[in-house]
Amino acid sequence: MTVRYFEDVSVDEELEPHEELPTEDKAIDFFGRNNPMNPAFADAEMGKKQGFGGALVPGVLKMAWITHYVNEWAGHEATVKSVRVAFRRPDVAGKPLVIAGRVVDKRQEEGENIVELECVTLADGQPSVRANVQVAMPSRNA
């Protein structure tokens, strides 16, 4: 993993999109095999009975993927400071999700170089999770 510096980041910069394929096994493994959560997270038939068309992808799993996506982009010297998400609609396992992001602000705040990003998960081009992520990044001049 490389180091990305605050000075090298531009507002409106687009992050390279990344694709994830959520599977039933990933959802089950994320929550644990014996977790009494909504059975639609682990069982496609239950998801169909509930009107979703298949097993649901947990929103917190999508949030974890967004956090990892930003962390990979920012580099090993950066620190994710906050993640705020809005869950817009459910996604069904077996359909690819694209994670995309864009830099919306950069500033110095309390001695830190803060970069703010807007990220989204997209299924069939439609957003299911929107996120605002703040990252503290190293300075080239430090």
30-65 per-position pLDDT tens digit: 776 666 567 777 778 888 898 888 888 888 899 999
Those residues with Cβ within 8 angstroms of residue 3's Cβ, 6 or more apart along the chain or in another chain: 75, 76, 77, 138
Q: Which domains does the chain have, with CATH numbers?
A: 9-22+57-137 (3.10.129.10)
Q: Half-sphere exposure of 85 toward its Cβ, with a 13 Å CA cutoff?
A: 19
| Per-residue pLDDT tens digits for 72-104 | 999 999 999 999 999 999 999 889 999 999 999
Q: In whole numbers, what is the pLDDT of the chain averaged over residues?
A: 90
pLDDT band of residue 6 (cuts 50, 70, 90) is: very high
Give just the sign of the alpha carbon dihedral 125, 128, 134, 140. Answer: negative
What Cα–Cα distance (Å) separates residue 71 from each residue in 15, 47, 57, 142? Answer: 12, 32, 21, 21
Beta partners for 107? 114
pLDDT (0 to 100) of residue 35: 61
> CA 17 to CA 14: how far, in whole Å?
8
> Which pLDDT score, from 0 to 100, does residue 55 have?
84
pTM: 0.91
